[in-house]
Structure 1
Amino acid sequence: MDVALWSVLIGLLLIVMALGGTVLARLPLSTAMLYLAVGIAVSPVLLGWTGFGPLTHTVLMERLTEIVVLVSLFTAGLKLSHGLGDRRWLLPLRLATTSMVVTVGCITLAAWTLLGLPIGAAVLLGGLLAPTDPVLASDVQVQEPGDRDQLRFALTGEGGLNDGTAFPFVMLGLGLLGLHDLGTLGWRWIAVDLVWAVAAGLAVGAGLGIATGRLVLYLRREHKEAVGLDDFVALGLIALAYGIALLLHAYGFLAVFAAGVALRNLVQRESGPADESRDAVEKATALPDRSMAETLAVDRRHAPAYMAHAVLGFNEQLERIGEVAVVVTIGALLWAVPWQADVLWFVPLLLLVIRPLSVAIGLAGSTTARPRRWLIGWFGIRGIGSLYYLMYAVNHGLPPALADRLTGLTLAAVVASIVVHGISVTPLMAAYERRVAARP
């Protein structure tokens, strides 16, 4: 396809989304559904402007999805303003651990017994499809720092955590297929891939988030320096946390999410009254004259809130651009996916049975109200994270026959999730918010 046509297409798409975003927010549609339709339109199914398949540019796809997920994870962490001692953290922790294990187990059992996959490929499929997506789930996540809604907090925290906690199962599946060293009786998988990689990833991210935030605030408060270029702070912290975690053989996804959470918690501790600082920063940044905003950037009380506001705003825009790129690409490669009839029952099993069951088990005994449990069980959105793990497995030597099979199953789950969750998110969340607002 000619570069000029791509430019016209992308330009029109972005301008249409900018002009019609508020209208779309009131309709039973999601932006991802429109991006997916555009991707299908430019593929050989309709216009034929592209002709690549899901397994022809796997390294490029791995890197693209990796970057988008990293930005989204950091953004999710920045939105979670509740302190780590807040009981709201119990829900995402239970969802990212207990519910994650149950999901992987159920998918593995179904893939092994009903799909006839070897046990390694079945476990790998569980690792691919168990994590919920932090990118495509933005409509059901925390909308802004300070949002105390239990449902949105649980889904945001789960999406941030389980994109990292799924990695051990991906490595286990690759190991059972002979593509990764598990060690005798699995000792290396337990010690390195499970315990060390998770703990080190969280520690690296939290440490860097706190250290970077303290350094920036010190320079701004004490010396009136390091003002501006908050986008560089965001990108630098993401890259630093991810790179150091990988060098230490830890999970970079967890490190980046932890960095965002740590930075947000530092801002809370260092700020004045949260609502007062946030309101002051929002009013100042809305003014055409930047002098007030620059004053708040170095103010002892408001500097933390200013930094968090600037970093979060930049990351949210970057996340939206990444979503456009990846979802359009998914739509463009669907024409070449090796579809199987198994997806007709496997995808409904995943979304309608396994997800609600895993949430019910993970939240058993909690005080979460039944409507919230039902919505958490429904909004187990699959998306870009699953595509990243698929490309990661393919690039680590997944046999072609298994690669074709898992590609069809994974993309079927992702596309189905984009459609059914995209249609349902607006009416369901509107009904939920009316119910919450009606409470005394």
Structure 2
Amino acid sequence: MPFALWFVVAGLLLTLMALGKTTLSRLPLSTAQLYLLVGLGIGPLGIGLLVIDPVDEAGVLEVLTEIVVILSLFAAGLKLRTPLSDGRWKLPVRLATISMTLTVFGIAALGVVGLGLPLGAAILLGAVLAPTDPVLASDVQVESPDDTDRLRFSLTGEAGFNDGAAFPFVMLGLGLLGLHDLGTGLGRWLAVDVAWAVLGGLAVGAALGMGVGRLVVHLRRVHKEAVGTDDFLALGLVALSYGVALLIGTYAFLAAFAAGLALRAEERRESGDEPAEDVETMAHEGAAEEVAVDDHVAPAYMASAVLGFSEQLERIGAVALVVLVGALLHRAEWSVDALWFVPAVLLVVRPLAVWVGMFGSSTSGVQRHLLAWFGVRGIGSVYYLMFAETHGLNDGFSDLLLGLVLTTIAASVVVHGLSVTPIMRWYARRSEVEERKANG
């Protein structure tokens, strides 16, 4: 594809999306669906302008998807202003632990019984498809930092946690295939891949997010320094948490999410219980440099600016990666196996895992149904599969896993994209009616 033509395609796509964003918001469509169609059109199944082999280029795809997911996880953490002591946090933690573990082994059971995969490959398939996607699930996530709706809060927190929490199962699958050292009796896996890597990743991100946040606020309030650098702050904190997490052998996804959470927690500690939207409105009423160093609103201004920049990068990355997924669909699995496997994952395994994970919780029946339905699959699954490819998966199972994962992602983009607008509007109206009834 000529280099200049890339700019033409990218420019047309971004311009059309900018002009049509308002129209799309009124239709039962998502931007991800259109990106997928563009990728399909310019890929091998269309006019053949974008041709890439996911096995040969697994290393490049791994890096690209990892960057987008990390930015998305950092932004997801910044969106969640609810204190960790709040009981609402129990819901995403349940989803990211109990429900995700059940999803991994539920999909693995389908792989062993229905597809004839060995246990290691089946667990790897489950680990790749189990995490929900923070990139493509933005339409069902919190609408503002102070949004505490149980459904949106749970889906946002789940996507933040489980993209890192799936990593131990990826390593378990690779280990059972002889591609990773699990230790005697799974000892090394439990100690290093589960305990150390998970807890260490969360600790690294939390420490860096809190430390950087306090340092910036101190410099701005006391010394009137470090002003106008919020874009560098976002990139720097993401890169720092990512790099340190990898250097000490922990999960960078969890570190990025924890860094966003910690930076937001630091803003809340400084700003108090005043709603973030109110503080940020006050912050934007004055000149940016003056507001950035104001004693009262400096923390909120910092968090708001960093979140805004991170979301812009996330959206740009989502365009590129979903178009790429569309181009890769020539490697999707359109066999009889896919016809039963994909519905089983989306309509059976995910709902059962959510209902078990939510048993005894304070969620309503409607919320549980919607939590079960909106298990969006996307860029995170592509990353994990490319990670497995670069770690030696390229064997007899590679094509089957690649085909099933791409088919599941495409199905998720289509069915969840078609349903998200009408369902979330209905849910919003229902929530408003219930709130009015509760207030008398």
Determine if the TM-score, normalized by the shorter chain, exceeds 0.5.
yes
Cα distance in 2 between the residues matched to 1:273 and 1:80: 14
**1:148: how far off?**
1.5
Q: Is the Cα–Cα contact under 8 Å of residues 36 and 322 in structure 2 kept in the other structure?
A: yes
> Following superposition of structure 1 onto structure 2, how do residues 36-75 of structure 1 map, counting pairs within 5 Å?
36-75=36-75
> Following superposition of structure 1 onto structure 2, how do residues 220-239 of structure 1 map, counting pairs within 5 Å?
220-239=220-239
Deviates more, 1:78-87 or 1:394-403: 394-403
- Corresponding residue of 1:408: 403
Decide which of 415, 420, 423 is 1:425's aligned counterpart.
420
Cα shift readout 1:14-38 (whole Å, capped 9, x = no counterpart): 1111111011011100000000000
Q: Compared with structure 1, are the counterparts of its residues 11 and 283 closer, same or farther at alpha carbon in structure 2 (3 Å cutoff)?
A: farther
Q: Is the Cα–Cα contact under 8 Å of residues 165 and 198 in structure 2 kept in the other structure?
A: yes
> Following superposition of structure 1 onto structure 2, how do residues 2-401 of structure 1 map, counting pairs within 5 Å?
2-272=2-272, 274-275=274-275, 278-282=277-281, 285=284, 292-337=287-332, 339-401=334-396
Q: Is the Cα–Cα contact under 8 Å of residues 54 and 337 in structure 1 kept in the other structure?
A: no
Cα distance in 2 between the residues matched to 1:119 and 1:48: 37
Q: Secondary structure in 1 aligned to 2:413?
A: helix
Cα distance in 2 between the residues matched to 1:48 and 1:336: 14
Percentage of identical aligned residues = 60
Q: Which one-letter code corresponds to 1:366 in the other structure? A: S
**1:183: how far off?**
0.4
Deviates more, 1:239-248 or 1:333-342: 333-342
Cα distance in 1 between the residues matched to 2:107 and 2:330: 26
Q: Secondary structure in 1 aligned to 2:287?
A: helix
Cα distance in 2 between the residues matched to 1:280 and 1:262: 18
Q: Is the Cα–Cα contact under 8 Å of residues 53 and 335 in structure 1 kept in the other structure?
A: no
Cα distance in 2 between the residues matched to 1:111 and 1:322: 31
Cα distance in 1 between the residues matched to 2:254 and 2:123: 21
Cα shift readout 1:350-386 (whole Å, capped 9, x = no counterpart): 0000000000000001121000000000000000000
Q: How many positions carry a matched residue from both structures?
A: 435
- TM-score, structure 2 normalization: 0.97
Q: Which one-letter code corresponds to 1:254 in the other structure? A: L
**1:4: how far off?**
1.7
Q: Compared with structure 1, are the counterparts of its residues 338 and 401 closer, same or farther at alpha carbon in structure 2 (3 Å cutoff)?
A: farther
Cα shift readout 1:406-427 (whole Å, capped 9, x = no counterpart): 0011111100000000000000
Cα distance in 2 between the residues matched to 1:394 and 1:282: 47
Structure 1: where are the runs of 5+ without partners? none
Q: Compared with structure 1, are the counterparts of its residues 101 and 338 closer, same or farther at alpha carbon in structure 2 (3 Å cutoff)?
A: closer
- Corresponding residue of 2:429: 434
Q: Which one-letter code corresponds to 1:415 in the other structure? A: A
Cα distance in 2 between the residues matched to 1:283 and 1:215: 22
**1:5: how far off?**
1.5
**1:230: how far off?**
0.3
Q: Is the Cα–Cα contact under 8 Å of residues 120 and 176 in structure 1 kept in the other structure?
A: yes
Cα distance in 1 between the residues matched to 2:92 and 2:273: 26
Cα distance in 1 between the residues matched to 2:134 and 2:219: 32
Cα distance in 2 between the residues matched to 1:271 and 1:296: 14
**1:237: how far off?**
0.6
**1:110: how far off?**
1.1
Cα distance in 2 between the residues matched to 1:194 and 1:421: 31
**1:50: how far off?**
2.0
Q: Secondary structure in 1 aligned to 2:336?
A: coil
Structure 2: where are the runs of 5+ without partners? none
**1:280: how far off?**
4.8
Cα distance in 1 between the residues matched to 2:159 and 2:44: 33
Cα distance in 1 between the residues matched to 2:6 and 2:76: 31
Cα distance in 1 between the residues matched to 2:407 and 2:390: 20
Q: Secondary structure in 2 aligned to 1:397?
A: helix
Cα distance in 2 between the residues matched to 1:337 and 1:296: 51
Cα distance in 2 between the residues matched to 1:358 and 1:44: 36
Q: Which one-letter code corresponds to 1:313 in the other structure? A: G
**1:6: how far off?**
1.3
Q: Which one-letter code corresponds to 2:281 in the other structure? A: E
Cα distance in 2 between the residues matched to 1:222 and 1:68: 35
Q: Secondary structure in 2 aligned to 1:396?
A: helix
Q: Which one-letter code corresponds to 1:136 in the other structure? A: L
**1:400: how far off?**
2.5
Cα distance in 2 between the residues matched to 1:365 and 1:374: 15
Cα shift readout 1:144-180 (whole Å, capped 9, x = no counterpart): 1111111100000000000011000000000000000
